[in-house]
Amino acid sequence: MRRLARAATGALFASAIALGTAGIAVAQDTGTVYVVHGIPDTPVDVYVDGERALDDFAPGTSQGPLDLPSGPHQVAVFPADAADGSGQPLLSAQAEVPAGGNVTLAAHLTAEGQPSLTPLVNEVGEVPAGQARVVVRHLAAAPAVDVLAGGEPVVRNLTNPNQEALEVPAGTVSAAVAAAGTTDPVIGPADLTLEEGTTTFVHAVGSLQQDNLELVTFTVGGGDSAPHGVPAGAPSGAPSEGVPAAGWAALSAAGVALVGLSLARLRPAGRR
Amino acid sequence: MLATSPVWAGLPDARPATPPPAPVVAAAPVAEPSAPVAPAVSTGEPVRVRAASVGLDAAVVPVGVTNDGLMAVPENVAEVGWYRFGPLPGAASGSAVLASHVDDRVQGEGAFADLSRMGPGDEISVDGPGGPIVHRVREVRTYPKDAVPLADLFRETGPPRLVLVTCDGPFDTDARSYRDNLVVYAEPA
């Protein structure tokens, strides 16, 4: 797994709004929201502004994309058998949905095993042609971890509730999670198929102590970009004898001088 | 953005006494890409491209990108590369891109050597597992390499289109490259 870009995000809480609007220039009055449920054994209903938005939301799954009006929303998480959105929720938070932004709201355990709601900004912008982005997130009751690809660490010392983004060649990678500094998986290995132009969000959730760690994964498309060029001439570095250059060979001495000038101007291009 | 104020009520201790199942790895995406490649009319990858008007009849192989982010055109000048990260020829939408070298000192004339002689109305047929997909040329254009509309050539949405790309113009011996790209735009017949 070749690492082309590396974006560690530490202070998620503080930086969420700014990052959420940074990558998207188009002003919109809605934002895109994904919801991840990473608290084991606890099906929930999710209420947004007092209305039930998700019913019987199963642990270890995600929902989305949901389009929500931009601005603040009151999010409350109740046990799935709750009659309505009144009373004392399991978790609640004020969620700011940035206009045109893309965010994840994750219900998960802290490193110490306490339930928590964490907002995370989804980086879903363009990736280079042929590449895919993977965002790995530590949302589990567990100490620092390394993320392994093909058995080799590609993200080191990731702690709850942080994330790290990688851009990698599109394809299938064998991914695993191990305690920081080790290569013995506590999750996986599992094959992740990373399609070109997509971003795959991988959430490690659950509890190491309870032996119920797992990955919750979703993929967002639309990050395609074109190659930088099409080098479609003369792979050996020289053209065929007398092919389009023939016209040039027939030029007068004055013409040849002009050719020299033209070639000098072309030089900075530097590659075919 | 979220002033998280968890108000949990005894949740962490509500754990079953029985051992939980082994960790389950849920690698399957639950949300499909929001802009997927449209389903193809053809059922698979192109294997051959033919254009009688310029004597083109060449094998097609899937290609990706080079390490420096250029389309990976086949080294064999007799072969044509199909950009496998883009739409298939015959797809319901988007631009399917085929590229091949114009020529080479060692290998001689390339599959796309005579592409510049194509004109509007010429027929281009791309063979895949589902049979030939016939296109008609709409336009042939030459661009300096620094002015090629790459984002448009490789667009993944919009009306279905076949694009053939090769090199053209004078050869820059210093850059070891032709100055221009020749682009043939064709539409499903």
CA angle B100, B104, B107 (to 5 degrees): 95
Per-residue pLDDT tens digits for B127-138: 999 899 999 999
Nearest residue on chain B to A223, alpha-carbon basis: B35
| Phi–psi pair at A267, nearest 5 degrees | -50, -45
Asked if the model's pLDDT at residue B9 lies above 70, the reply is no
Of A112, A103, A35, residue with least CA distance to A70 = A103
Per-residue pLDDT tens digits for B112-125: 999 999 999 999 99
Asked if the model's pLDDT at residue B166 lies above 70, the reply is yes
Q: In terms of residue numbers, what domain contains A85?
A: 6-220
A216 is written with which tokens?
A: 């919750």
DSSP-assigned letter for residue B174: T
Distance CA A21, CA A27 (A): 9
Chain B interface mutation, best of A240, A256, A267, A271, highest count of B Cβ atoms under 10 Å: A240
The answer to the question of residue A236 being in a domain is no
Nearest residue on chain B to A4, alpha-carbon basis: B67
pLDDT attached to residue A28: 60
Per-residue pLDDT tens digits for A222-247: 999 999 999 877 666 667 655 444 33
Q: Dihedral angle at the C-alpha atoms of A148, A154, A156, A161, nearest 10 degrees?
A: -80
Q: For chain B, what is the mean pLDDT?
A: 80
A71-79, strands of its sheet edge to edge: A51-57, A44-48, A71-79, A91-97, B3-4
pLDDT attached to residue B168: 83
The answer to the question of residue A161 being in a domain is yes
Contact A34, A20 (CB under 8 A): no
In total, how many domains does chain A have? 1
Q: Which of A89-93, A255-259, B14-18 has the lowest mean pLDDT?
A: B14-18
pLDDT attached to residue B111: 92
pLDDT attached to residue A44: 95
Tell me the domains of chain B and their CATH numbers. 48-188 (2.40.260.10)
Are A62 and B166 inside 8 Å of each other by CB?
no
CA distance readout (Å), B53 to B24, B115, B124, B164, B184: 58, 10, 9, 15, 13
Q: Which of A30-39, A96-105, B105-114 has the lowest mean pLDDT?
A: B105-114
Distance CA A221, CA B34 (A): 5
How close does chain B come to A210, measured CA to CA in Å?
Answer: 7
A91 is written with which tokens?
A: 């978790």
DSSP-assigned letter for residue A13: H
Are A117 and B102 inside 8 Å of each other by CB?
no
The answer to the question of residue A200 being in a domain is yes
Per-residue pLDDT tens digits for A129-142: 999 999 999 999 99
Cβ-nearest to A227 among B7, B113, B150: B150
DSSP-assigned letter for residue B159: S
Distance CA A122, CA A157 (A): 21
pLDDT attached to residue B130: 87
Asked if the model's pLDDT at residue B78 lies above 50, the reply is yes
- ipTM score above 0.85: no
A168 is written with which tokens?
A: 């990698």
Per-residue pLDDT tens digits for B86-97: 999 999 999 999
Cβ-nearest to A210 among B11, B15, B174: B15
Per-residue pLDDT tens digits for A50-106: 999 999 999 999 999 999 999 999 999 999 988 887 888 999 999 899 999 999 999
